[in-house]
Chain A
Amino acid sequence: MNGFLIEHAPALLIMLPLIGAFATPFIGRVSPRIRSAWVILIMTLTTLTALLLASDVFLNGTQIYVFGAANPDLAVPLDSGGIPIRIIFTVDAMSALMQVIGAICGFAVLLYSISADRIHSGLESFYTLFLLMIAGIMGMVSTGDLFNFFVFLEILSIASAGLIAYRIDGGLAVEAALKYFVLSTIGAMVILVAIGIYYGEYNALNIAMIASRMQFTLLDQIALVLIIAALAMKCGSVPMHFWTPDAYSMAPSSITAMLVVASQASLYGLFRVVFTLYNVTLNAMTVGWIIIILGVLSMVVGVTMAIPQKNVKRLMAYHAISQTGYMLLGVGVGLAVLGNQPLMDSFGYIAMEGGIFHIINHAMYKGLLFLTAGAIFFRIGTYNLNRMGGLGHSMKYTMIFFIIGALAIAGIPPFNGFASKLMIYESVFAFNPVLAVIAMVVSILTLASFVKVFHSIFMGPKLPEYETVQEAPAPMLIGMAVLAAIVILFGLFPQAVVDGLIAPAAHALSDQSGYIAAVLGGA
């Protein structure tokens, strides 16, 4: 039974949320309670499947799943001329890590959302789109097929746009969703053009197949630029970040936390393309520096735009942009020295590990911070920092969770953000000290920004208008507690996390030949 589950886990990861999503409107007609139980059941099963699959991948190596084949690991049919013609999911350690991030965040956010969003109408559509979002994320990080990647990207974008617009909010949320949707659609169409280029050139859509034939021709260079720009825009990199504060601030907080993971799925796509599809065929130093510059711009502009914000979610959205910069910086440095084994061994792998470690850390603490902002909105009905104060008297647990998230994002020990930032600082310093100094200054500004937020929300005397405010409901606190526990545990045992999850992911990402062999090994 266990073997059967593991064998079909890649398909189950998509199937479960899809079935859950399409059944939710019907089950919702029976009773809201049964609908909530159904959604929690589906998300629990999806999370368990992701953890099961990840444990297998980290123990036994890359797992492939061929849809429609007589055998799920039969990548290349005998009569296909050596081309993997079917849709193939290729789950290596990097994919498994991203699945774990999506599953854990999705589970915690859903627990929170069941309580936070219960007062709203149209929850059947809300949870349908939520589960479609999960399916989109899981598909993007699992697939080994470029066109399939585009399909899941579109599923994710459509579901996300619907959820951003969910509260309408006098039309503001709809406007934010429209901006997100316009940019997402243009980005996705551009990616489709790039995929068309690969298909025209290499007669294949499978990532491993294209990677094995990659020539880095002029057309490949054009396709590379189209994909880098589109996915960098989708992950909120400066100067293509403008949609991020609009969308993050107008979406319900539970959805904002998931939008962070959705952005990271795009970041994963970017890394997958440059490392697995192109690898050493491209000019790694030039493309590495492009990613580094996008990262530095994101770090600096993100944090400096965050400081003057008055809307707490908008402020946090700018910090999300800033933190994405750290991931781009770390992995960009790894890319810049790709192909130079002594430099890779000296600091390249550590930089990549730092960047990848920061992806999972950021998903946890930024998700936590958005959930605390949502809990505050749930109780006082505003995101305006100028109207807040003294809530530490009445929302003690929320305040503790906020402190944990704020210290983690600012890179204060012993929380998880410090561990990944330390890896980035030291490895990037070996590459270029100026970049490390910028990264550290950005962390200081992040701390300054969150000191302001903490003071504005929680400090000061209990304000008369908030005399009757109570702590957030228990399910919301449980959702926050799940993420806070991970933030603390990853901070206290960082090397165990690096050894168990991060280093295998970094090596899988940089090991193009291993990826190709896993899919085309028998071809």
Chain B
Amino acid sequence: MDLLASLSTGTGYWNPLAWLLATVIAAVIVYLVWRRGESGYKKGTAQTTPFISGNPEPGKEMVHVRASNLYWGYLDALKGYYELIVPAHTGVVNDYVLWYLGVTAMLMIVVVVFI
């Protein structure tokens, strides 16, 4: 068993260790570039205080973007899809059984009738 072997995907190859090496080299380059940056940054001074048009900074619990506010655009764009798919998840076990029986019946038609 060769631990270092590349993963064969049938049409190509993938070597995670080579990828890791490339990532480390890229990280070193990024670090070297970062070191050439501004060194006057001081934590806890006005430099690190958010500037909100002169208004005071709100409380910490107020600035965290909660899960409900994420991907609003995505959900709005696919509203039509979600209006169909979400109500199908009724939470009623009778519906779950009906779906199961429906799929069984459909497969029965496909396999028994058409094969």
Contacts and interface: CB of A to CB of B under 8 A. Distances in A.
Interface of A: 178-179, 182-183, 186-187, 190, 218, 221-222, 224-226, 228-230, 232-233, 239-240, 242-243, 245-246, 282-283, 286-287, 290, 301, 304-305, 307-308, 310, 346-347, 350, 385-386, 388-390, 413-414, 418-419, 422-423, 425-427, 429-430, 448, 452-453, 455-456, 459-465, 491-496, 498-500
A423 B100 contact: no
Given A413-B19, A496-B5, A463 B104 contact: no
B105 to A, nearest CB: 9
Nearest to A242: B96
Contact of A307 (B7, B11, B74, B110): B74
Q: Which of A179, A187, A240 has the most CB of B within 10 A?
A: A240
B56 to A, nearest CB: 15
Contact of B108 (A222, A429, A460, A494): A222
Given A187-B100, A495-B5, 9 more contacts: A186-B100, A222-B108, A233-B100, A243-B96, A282-B115, A386-B67, A426-B11, A452-B67, A499-B1
A463 B99 contact: no
B97 interface: yes
Interface in B66-92: 66-68, 70-71, 74-75, 78, 81-82, 85-86, 88-91
B16 A426 contact: no
Interface string B1-32: 11111111111101011011000000000000
Nearest to A283: B115
B83 to A, nearest CB: 12
Given A224-B111, A430-B10, A464 B60 contact: yes
B61 A463 contact: yes
A240 B10 contact: no
Contacts of B67: 310, 385-386, 388, 452-453, 456
Interface residues of B, number: 54
26 contacts: A182-B96, A221-B111, A222-B112, A225-B111, A226-B104, A228-B107, A233-B103, A243-B96, A290-B110, A304-B78, A307-B74, A308-B86, A350-B8, A390-B60, A414-B19, A414-B20, A419-B7, A423-B9, A429-B11, A452-B71, A460-B60, A460-B65, A463-B61, A495-B7, A495-B8, A496-B3
Given A239-B103, A426-B12, A430-B11, A461 B64 contact: yes
Prevailing SS type, chain A contact patch = helix
A233 B1 CA distance: 37
B46 interface: no
Nearest to A183: B96
A290 B104 CA distance: 12
Nearest to A423: B9
Contacts of A459: 64
Contacts, number: 176
B85 to A, nearest CB: 7
Contacts of A499: 1-2, 5
Contacts of B108: 222, 225
A178 B64 contact: no
B93 A179 contact: yes
A427 B107 contact: no
Contacts of B61: 389, 463-465
Contact of A183 (B6, B90, B93): B93
Contact of B85 (A218, A221, A301): A301
B63 A460 contact: yes
B51 interface: no
A493 B70 contact: no
Contacts of B59: 464
Nearest to B4: A493
Contacts of B9: 350, 422-423, 425-427
B34 interface: no
Q: Which of B16, B75, B91, B114 has the most CB of A within 10 A?
A: B16
A392 to B, nearest CB: 12
A305 B84 CA distance: 11
A305 B89 contact: yes
Contacts of A462: 60
A46 to B, nearest CB: 25
A460 B64 contact: yes
B14 A455 contact: no
Nearest to A459: B64
B89 A308 contact: no
A500 B10 CA distance: 17
A103 B93 CA distance: 32
A419 B2 contact: no
A92 B103 CA distance: 31
A310 B68 contact: yes
B68 A386 contact: yes
B43 to A, nearest CB: 15
Contacts of A183: 93, 96-97, 100
